[in-house]
Amino acid sequence: MNESATTTRPPWTGIAVSALSLIVMAGISWTLWDSLPDPVITRQATPERTEIAVPKLIATAAMPGALLVIAAIMVVATKIGNRLRPHVDPRLVASPASLTRSMNTLFTLLPLFFIVLHAGFLLITAGHDFPLDQAVAVGFGVLLMGIGNVLPKITPSRVSPKDAVGRWALAWQSSQRVGGIAMVLLGAVCIVAAFLIPPMVAAVISAGLIVAIYVMMVLRAASRM
């Protein structure tokens, strides 16, 4: 059997977008560098707590560093997954092609979201006006819509309804289609709500509803067994 059919290939599109995003974030940091205070205060002091300040080098490297950490975790997880795949029923794991597709989507949307966070934080720190909360809520909504779009496309390596495992795989695949639609709608509502209510409230509620969507998917799959 062709090895590429049994192992997850690198998400080259996502890797290219992530690399470009790191360059963009570096450019934003370089442009705003002279306007940034040193140290950068990340939490204001109150009567109950002291302020937190970090060197501006750390402040400008935080988002690019977080993206690199997430990418490294995904690389390690993919390698472990490829090692374990031969020992797991193929009906219970996503196919390598669908995993590559989902990682391409994740590492296309996530770096763009990080760019918004990075630029917004540095602009505010440098004294510029920027609607960071609103941008975060809108970006989170777009991220949810992207995840919802790819969710139904995560298909198992093999489907066979001959036993309970096969029936569960088919039921879960059906639930993923419904869950994907719900996730896209949730993302769209989050985007609209960011302009109608406090943006961070919209984002937090949307994040909480992700759990509700997955619970719904599990219950729906169980009911179709």
H/E segment holding residue 42 = strand 40-43
Q: Which residues, 6+ apart, have CB-to-CB distance to 83 below 8 Å?
A: none
Rounded to the nearest 10 degrees, how much is the dihedral formed by the CA atoms of 161, 164, 168, 171?
A: 50
What ranges do the domains of the chain cover? 3-223
For residue 41, what is the DSSP state? E
pLDDT of residue 1: 42
What pLDDT is stored for residue 204 in this prediction? 94
Distances from the Cα of 71 to the Cαs of 38, 41, 131, in angstroms? 29, 28, 28
Token reading at 55? 């060197």
For 99, the 3-state DSSP assignment is helix
Q: How far apart are CA 118 and CA 149, in angstroms?
A: 25
CA–CA distance, 40 with 125 (Å, rounded to integer)? 7
> Length of the chain, please?
225
Beta bridge partners of 94: 156
Read off the tokens for 217: 């998917």
What pLDDT is stored for residue 170 in this prediction? 80
Q: What average pLDDT does the chain have?
A: 84
Q: Is the pTM of this model over 0.85?
A: no
Q: At what angle do helices 56-84 and 12-32 cross, to 10 degrees?
A: 170
CA distance 105 to 99: 10
Give me the phi and psi of 67, to 5 degrees please: -65, -40
pLDDT computed for residue 187 by the predictor: 95
* pLDDT given at position 4: 44
Peptide bond before 39: cis, by omega within 30 degrees of 0? yes
Q: How far is CA 149 from CA 97, 109, 187, in A?
A: 16, 12, 11
Q: What is the pLDDT of residue 50?
A: 80
Q: Which residues of the chain have pLDDT under 50?
A: 1-5
Asked whether 170 and 205 are in contact (CB, 8 A), the reply is no
pLDDT in the model for residue 122: 93
> How many Å separate Cα 100 from the centre of its chain?
15
